[in-house]
Structure 1
C-alpha cells in the first residue's frame, strides 16, 4: 500500500474536500543559520507531499535564495494538510506561483493532490520561473510566504 493510499484511508476525503472549498470560499485563509525575514529572489527547488514524523501528509516546498547575503540558502514552506484550511493555504500559495496549472478547490485524494503539485513544479521548471518572495512570521513565529513578483528566467 502506498503512502497516498494510507492517507486516503486515514482521512475522510469527501469531508476534507468540502472543508477546503468552504474555507477558500470564505477567504481562508536542524543546525543551520536562520534566514531573517525579508524579501528574497528565489527559485522553487522542490515541491512534494511527504510524511510528517506523526505519519500525516505535509506539503513541502524548498525555495533557494538566488542573490544577496543569503544566496544559496533555503527557505522551507512546510504545511501539514489534514484540515481544509491547511489545504486552502497551500492552494493559495500554489496559485500565486502562476504556473499555468489549474489549482482546483475539489480535493480528490492525496495521490491526485501530489500529482497536481508535481505538475506545477514541472511547469515552473519548464518556464524557468523565479520569484520575489516576502518571508515573514506570524504572532506564533510560524513562517509566512507571499509571492510578490514572478520572473521568467
Structure 2
C-alpha cells in the first residue's frame, strides 16, 4: 500500500480506529512488517475499541493503543507515527487522547532504556519514572512511567 501525503487542507482529528484503518497502520509500522503477531494484536485492539488514530483527510498519521489490564490501570502499550509525521506533535496528541479515554486515575506507559526518543516524548507528555522491568528484551530493560490523571 503506497502512502499518500496528507491533504494539507484537511483538518487533523483523533478518533477510535476502525477495521479499515488497520492496513494503513501496518503500512507505516515497520516493526509489524517483520513481526506478524503485531498485526494480529493491532487488529484485536481495534476490534476491542482500544486503539485511536490521528487522521488527516483519509490518511492515518499515527495510532495509540490503550488497555486497562495493567493492574486495573490504563496502560499505553504502543504509540506509532508515520515516519514523515514524526516530531510534529502527533504522538503527543495521541497520548493526550489516551489520557482522556483512560478509565482509571493512573496511566502507565513504558519503553526500552535504549529508546531515547520515546523517553523524551514520555517526559514531554508529563509522565514520571515509576520502575524498571528486566529480562523482557535481553540487555535492554523496560522503563515504566506513570501519570496521575485525577
Shorter-chain TM-score tier = under 0.3
Q: TM-score, normalised by structure 2?
A: 0.27
Q: Which has the higher contact order (CA 8 A, sep 6+)?
A: 1
With normalisation by structure 1, the TM-score equals 0.26
